[in-house]
Structure 1
Amino acid sequence: MSTSFSEIPIIDLSQATEDSTKPRLLESLRYALTEVGFLYVSNHGVPAAAVDSLVKALPTLFELDDEAKKSVALENSPHFLGYSGVGAENTGGKADRREQFEFATELAATWTSGGPLYERLRGPNQWPKGHPELRSAVEAYIGELTRLGERFLDLVAQALSLQSGTFQPFLSDQHRLKLVHYPALSPGDPAASQQGVGPHKDSSGWWTFLLQASPPEVKGLQVLNKAGAWVDVPVVPGTFVVNIGQAFEVVTNGACKATTHRVLSGSHERYSVPFFQGVRRDLTKAEAVGTLADHFAGLAAAGRESEEGHAIDSAFLKGKYDTWGESQLRTKVRSHRENGRKFYPEVYDLYVNDDA
């Protein structure tokens, strides 16, 4: 009988290299997958230099002047890549108190008029001029996290009694990275919103790999457990926080749930770097639900979620959109409405007014 978790498990990936420790690793991972939906990974193999270069670049990036930020504004990009300021993104209908740069695997735009609108999400980054070190740090980090994600998926498959490689065919050609800055709350301002980012389930990828890039005393990330209580996810140096995205929940027939989480702003500024492992834009709901349905039929975890978690907006899980790409486009338009009005006027009203 399952119980509600009160802390996030740490999975030591170095245990995968030895026959004597791998069974213990897979058992711990299976628990994290089916009972928590969040975990830390340690000894993950990502070079410290790649992480340190990115962390070092964060203050420089967010200290760029307004003109430099405006030159790479997300509103310039039909791919939703670039800079957005505090309050520009909404979660749960409320403004998030964070600024961020969004990047992705560097790819050319290939969408042509008449093709599926969601294919327009694929495209190149906007890079701040005069800072080549930022681009090299971001691209190196995306490369390392792409490789970690693929290695991790093999362990996930084995922990769920599947063959290595089972989950890779669901992956996209483009993964996304956010560099996020949560400004500190002004002391003595009771009107200031604590919503760094509101309660949500990750809709931007297959799995999320999060670098908490601030010192351990800086808190903010919380996860909602099955009893409806918020559990802190403190900084653990040398680890990534890893969590399930909505598409993975669909493919596993609800056995592995995307867990609701949020960030509360506080008296310290906070830096955060989530990497979203991309899902194929043409993945249909029928393919997602049906591919592994027989395997997961006996593992479905119906009802093992708090009321608040179950109510979170989840277009691909609960909505009427047949492809992952369209549900993703809907989410982007609803979160970045100025961008949606500019590049997607034909679906803007539909998506903004659709709460299904």
Structure 2
Amino acid sequence: RPLISEFLQAVGHGIEPGLLGEMMAVTRDFFNLPLEEKQRYTNLVGDKREYRIEGYGGDMVLSETQVLDWCDRFYLIVDPESRRLHDLWPTRPPSFRDVLHRYSARCRELAGAAGLPEEGRLADMLDEKAVTYVRLNCYPPCPRPDRVLGFRPHSDGGVLTVLLAETAGLQVLRDGEWHDVPVVPGALVVNLGDVVEVVSNGVLRSPVHRVVASAERGRVSVAAFYTVDPEREVEPAPELVSEERPRRYEKTKKSGDYVRELLESLARGERAIDKVKLV
């Protein structure tokens, strides 16, 4: 059915429960590796330790006073396969590469069948040049969950996101209040991203969400982000702009640049989409 709600619990999605379990298992096993092993895939490169999107690490750090999220992350491009940086694909645990390859292929089938609205040609955006990022997240138990978040409030920058998680902690902002997103066994959580909000001229929304920290339990999750061609700029579809509903967004940067701006804005506690809003 069309994705008209902020978060959709996808059940009966056709991805085998065993594969979901394998993906969660290799994610846990990776984050349980010794730190020196994980740092072989660091997202800080070169003598200047410059931040790149792909790799293992934490937040992009822009200032010494920046409050960091209580979370370790590992970004990888999984599609198109020609864009994969295989040196960043871990060899431990031994099944990691195979499981991620199979899981990402099945998730892409789900994304393609997710019922994106036809307005503004949204359904055509996940073409052969579209890029899919996978982000593995690890939220360890936190001694002071009242002082820090697992992941600060943000919206996703792409077309849609597919999330695999078995533990509570995700919240969505609605009418100024935070609401828990329930964990449904075997379900995948799907939400729209900034691209959809811009192309639909605000008819559809990219929800603001966060992850809270917990003193009692850790949490791991796997998020797949479906973005458009990195060279593609995004703007409201002409058929969705009228006197009754004037244009609400400027044209964005190229998608590849927008993803980078999204992470920089996140580090500053801002939303990248706010920079292209007109009203």
Q: TM-score, normalized by length of structure 1?
A: 0.64
- Which of 57, 60, 67 lines up with 1:84 in the alignment? 57
Take 1:163 and 1:281, find their aligned partners in 2: how far apart are those partners?
17
Is structure 2 residue 142 aligned with structure 1 residue 185?
Answer: yes
SS at match of 2:138: strand
More strand by share: 2
1:202-231 deviations in Å (ceiling 9; x for gaps): 12x2100111133xxxx2111011x21111
Q: CA offset at residue 143 of structure 1?
A: 0.8
1:172-226 deviations in Å (ceiling 9; x for gaps): 442011111101122xx47x633111111112x2100111133xxxx2111011x
User: Aligned residues, how many?
Assistant: 261
- Which of 103, 111, 123 lines up with 2:76 in the alignment? 103
Matched with 1:250 is 198
Contact 2:165–2:221 (CA under 8 A) maintained in structure 1: yes
Contact 2:194–2:205 (CA under 8 A) maintained in structure 1: yes
Q: Which has the higher contact order (CA 8 A, sep 6+)?
A: 2
Matched with 2:40 is 71
Q: CA offset at residue 130 of structure 1?
A: 4.3
Select the structure of larger CA radius of gyration.
Answer: 1
Contact 1:84–1:100 (CA under 8 A) maintained in structure 2: yes
- Which of 222, 226, 229 lines up with 1:273 in the alignment? 222
- Which of 226, 230, 236 lines up with 2:184 in the alignment? 236
Take 1:335 and 1:182, find their aligned partners in 2: how far apart are those partners?
18
Alpha-carbon spacing, 1:156–1:129, altered in 2? closer, same or farther (3 Å)? closer
1:235-274 deviations in Å (ceiling 9; x for gaps): 1111111111001111111100101111110121111111
**RMSD value, Cα:** 3.3
Structure 2 segments unaligned to the other structure (5+ residues): 269-273
Q: TM-score, normalized by length of structure 2?
A: 0.80
Is structure 2 residue 109 aligned with structure 1 residue 147?
Answer: yes
More helix by share: 1
Identity of aligned residues (%): 26
Take 1:224 and 1:284, find their aligned partners in 2: how far apart are those partners?
27
Q: CA offset at residue 95 of structure 1?
A: 1.1
After TM superposition, the structure 1 = structure 2 runs for residues 210-229 of structure 1, keeping only pairs within 5 Å, are: 210-214=163-167, 219-225=168-174, 227-229=175-177
Alpha-carbon spacing, 1:184–1:252, altered in 2? closer, same or farther (3 Å)? same
SS at match of 1:157: coil
Matched with 1:259 is 207
- Which of 154, 157, 165 lines up with 2:117 in the alignment? 157
Take 1:173 and 1:156, find their aligned partners in 2: how far apart are those partners?
15
Matched with 2:89 is 127
- Which of 253, 256, 264 lines up with 1:322 in the alignment? 253
